[in-house]
Amino acid sequence: MIINDSSYKNVGGFTDDDTREMRAFLLGAVHVWCRDRHGEWFAARDLLGGANFFWQGTPLISLYDHYLAESDGDGDYAVQQAGRAAGHLLKRVLIDDTKRRYETRQGYTREYRWVGEENLD
């Protein structure tokens, strides 16, 4: 759950199974971040950019493939749009995470931080 923020942009054009797999992948990435970098702010680019830029072999490649097809092969457009869509999916994942609470702040990109509260029920 994100404290004081429950709005998000929907990402369409994918099957329910594809969306479920992408969201599960993102939730796993968030939980690893929170375990290894407790108290640090993160954004989608921290989880999915830099050394983690190559999405081949992950459910997120569907985002890139979708926008690549939509743009008739424009790789730059596909990367930009897939990154935005991944950010929208990430926010929805955090809103729906019933085990942890996150705070958010808006900078150049939206950032999140686990506030250390867990519901293990």
SS3 62: helix
pLDDT in the model for residue 56: 92
Top-confidence residue, 13 or 36: 36
Mean pLDDT value across residues 101-106? 92
DSSP state of 58: S
Q: What is the pLDDT of residue 59?
A: 96
Round the CA-based radius of gyration of the chain to a whole number and report it. Answer: 14
pTM: 0.89
Alpha carbon separation from 119 to 13, 93, 98, 102, 113 (Å, rounded): 33, 16, 7, 12, 16
- Mean pLDDT, to the nearest integer, of 60-85? 94
Question: What whole-number distance in Å separates Cα of residue 112 and Cα of residue 16?
Answer: 25
Confidence at 99, pLDDT banded by 50, 70, 90: confident
CA atoms within 13 A on the CB side of 95: 13
Is residue 68 scored above 80 in pLDDT?
yes
Query: Mean pLDDT for the chain?
Result: 90
- Of 109, 96, 118, nearest to 26 by C-alpha is 96
